[in-house]
Structure formats: C-alpha cells, structure tokens
Amino acid sequence: MSAYSELKARFHKRSAIEGALATLQWDRAAMMPTGGAEARAEQVAVLETLAHGLVAAPELPELLEAAAAEPLAEGDRANLAEMRHAWVHAAAVPADLVAALAKAGAACEMAWRAARPAADFPAVLPRLEALLALVREEAAAKAEALGVSPYDALLDGYEPGGQSAEIDAIFADLAAFLPGFLDDVLARQAARPEPLPLPGPFPAATQRAMVRRVMTAMGFDFAHGRLDESAHPFCGGIADDVRLTTRYDEADAFSGVFGVIHETGHALYERGLPEAWRGQPAGQARGMSLHESQSLSMEMQAGRGRAFLSWLAPVLAEAFGGTGPAWSVENFVALAQRVERGFIRVEADEVTYPAHVILRYRLERAMVAGDLPLADLPEAWNAGMRDLLGVVPPDDRLGCLQDIHWYDGAWGYFPTYTLGAMTAAQLFAAARAAVPDLEAALARGDFSPLLGWMRANVHARASLLPTAEILRRATGKPLDAQAFKAHLTARYLA
C-alpha cells in the first residue's frame, strides 16, 4: 500500500467515527433523556479520542512526506494538503485534552439547557469557566503549531486560513456603514403602514407538516435526512444522513418556517458534496463561511425575496386556514423584510444581524485572551447590545444565554455568520446573472435552478479548493462587501 493510500484509509476511518459522533450529538440535542448526559459524555470523549489518535499518530509526518513524493492527481494533491492541515491541528493537542474538552463541553451544554429557560447565568458559570480554561489550552497549543494568535488558531478550525486582522477590517467597515443605514431603513419603514400581524395561533403540528412541504420544494431528500426539534436549531449528521432541528413558536409561523429554510440550506450543501470524495478531507464542506452562505442564500436571499414569498403566502394561508389582507403577498413581504432592533440573533433581520455577530466576535476574542472574566459576560453583553443596536436584553435568556456555541465549546465560530452573509449576497447575485429564470422559478416554489447553480459552483468543489478560490471562480472576484451592501440597499431602500 502506498503512503497516500494508507492515509486515505486512515482518514476514511476517522470520517466514519466523526459521522457516528455527529449522530450522537444530534441525539443528545433532540432525543436523549437528560439522565443519559453523563454516559453520552463518556461515549463522545472515547470516540473523539479515537478520531484524534488516527490523525495525531507519530507515524503521520513520515506518511505525509512519503505521499508528497508520489505522483498524485490534482484532486489528490488537494486532499493531501487537507490531511496535512488536519494533522497540524490534531498533533498540537494531546489526547487527554481532547477527552477533557469533549466531557467538559457535554457537561456545560447540558447545564446550559437548564440555565437558559431559567435565565440563570450563574448556574452555568462554573461549567463554562472550566470549559473555557480547556479551550484556552487548546488555543495556545494550536497557536504555537500554526504560528498564529490563539484566537486565530481557533478560527482556523472553522474557517481554514481565516485571520482576525482581515475580519477586523471587514467588521469595522460594516460597523461604520450599518448604523446610518439602519436609521434610514427604519425611517423609511416608519413612513409606511404597519404590516398586519398574521392571526394565530399556529399549532406546532400544522407547522411541522407545512415546513416539510417547503423543504420538499427546496429539494431536500427525506430518504437521506430528517427534521426534529431542539432548544437551538442546527444541521448535523453526515452527507447521506443529514439531521436538522428547529423549534416552533405557536405565536409566530415565520420563525419556524424561516428557521427550517435556513437549516435546509445547510443540509443541501452537505448532500451536494461530491460522492467521489466521501470520507476524505477534500470531500468535506469548505469552512463555515461557505456553509453559512448556503443557508443564508436560501433563507435571506431567496426565502425573504418577493418571488418566493408570492409562492409561500398561499401555502401558509392554506396550511393555517388564513384569509383576508394579512395573508396577501404584499403583507408577507412587509413582514418577512421587517427590520427592527431585537434581542435574538437567530430571529434578527439581515440588516441588524451583523451587529449581533460583531458583538459576539468582540466578546469571544476578549474571553479567549483573558481580557473579559466570564463573570462579567452578562454586563459586557448588555453594554454591547446597547452600543451596537440600542437595546438592552431584560434578562440573560435573551442575552448571553441565547446561543449554544460557547456552552458546547465552539469558540472562534461566530464571525463566519457575517462572512457567510456577505458571501451569500455575492453568490446569489452571480446565480441570478447566470440563470435568467431564477426569480420566476422561485415564484413557482421551484428552487432547482438556484440549487443546481450552487451544486455546480460551490457544493461540487467541497474542499478541493480554498474558500477564496471557490468564490472567485463562482463570482469572478474575491469577497467584496459591496455585494452585501448593494443587496441591502436594493431590498430596503430602493
């Protein structure tokens, strides 16, 4: 067996273990009884350690060097580069720290599930402090191996090659643009009649049936995935068994449907990854900014656009027996494109959403650096919300407890949301230019032209190319904030 073939077999085994982990983590969020938390943490820790050992093994450097000397095709060269990247991350972290992180993350997440509805940050604080101490150890070890800052080492795990210096510049530009733009949008909105609220309630059972119809229209394959419910919506599982979750609000039909559209965008990306590269690093999704671009292309660019809403309005009216002006397309557009200063990130409109992300990015950098004690997080969160959005959460449930990320160990993830929104705007503009009937298809509830373009230009490229190159080939240019600004201006001020 050649060195490269041996590496492929090793990484295929790691992929299978990670797939099992993904299913266990979905089960923990959606199905597992609370009494199973301790046993599940042990299972996850063992599997995490096994997956880590496959890549951090002492013979890996020699295998990587030998494989580099072999005559490999272009795709295999890309796969080998991804293997080396994975080895650098794995070899930097000792196995006992991997296990400790898995156990601490599971314990903290379960504590968060109880603390969030009770708005009780002090209840989860000890677990979060223990987890962050381990995350800092991980960040320091990877920073030394990668030659970057501790925060950038964490960021690299979600956005390969991502650098906080570049993000700082992008976010500074947005932070300068958005406040004045938001004021203009709110002033324009105030001059128009208030949209009519949809008369509820909206039974969860009816919502479940309705969103399945929307998912089918989007191209989701229920033979290779399922939709369940959890405290925080997410998409997990593997390409051939995608697991989505959402949550339903019986007073708000839009929250459930757009949450599902968002997670379905993630699922479609996973399902579209090339089968020829299953189980290999090059066959995985290319970082979280591209992943978020796929969910936001579906939710924000297409889902909240007039064309798709002209199809969705009668679908929802039929599902809930709605009649009258509140169920008109014009009212749906006004509701779906409503802009307001709110507390919850996952329910934020696309104008205010970047402010939510900028706040979390600033806070997590400070916490990782040790500049913000965790006990001071609620106060810092509320001050940031006041400064960036002009609102202060009434309690920590609507404040620093609202997102799961930090509580399950995902530090360095948040900036990819807004990078993804910018990427989505750029990709959707390119798709619309390349597919003249795209909007007409969306008006029929047909996502296939949009999905087909994304499959060819994003999904099929997996991790065979860097993010910047995928974007350049798809749109003709690197990431450009102007595409995002142009989209916002056209939708909200034109």
Each residue's pLDDT tens digit, 282-341: 999 999 999 999 999 999 999 999 999 999 999 999 999 999 999 999 999 999 999 999
Residues 489, 470: Cα–Cα separation, whole Å: 26
Instruction: Give the bridge partners for 36, in sequence order.
Output: none
> Mean pLDDT score of the chain, rounded to an integer?
96
Residues 468, 478: Cα–Cα separation, whole Å: 6
Annotated active-site residue 263? The verdict is: yes
Is the confidence at residue 23, as pLDDT, over 90?
A: yes
Alpha helices by DSSP H, 321-374: 329-336, 353-369
Catalytic residue from among 48, 109, 263, 292: 263
Quote the crossing angle between the two packed helices 253-272 and 287-296, to the nearest 10°: 130
DSSP letter, residue 299: I
Is the confidence at residue 165, as pLDDT, over 90?
A: yes
pLDDT at 310: 98
Q: Classify residue 1 as exposed, middle or buried by CB count within 10 Å of its CB (0-12, 13-18, 19+).
A: exposed
pLDDT at 323: 94
pLDDT tens column, 337-351: 999 999 999 889 999
**Percent of the residues in the chain that have a pLDDT greater than 70, as a whole number:** 100
pLDDT at 346: 86
pLDDT classification of 427: cutoffs 50, 70, 90? very high
Residue from 221, 310, 286 nearest 416 by CA: 286
Which amino acid type is present at position 328?
S
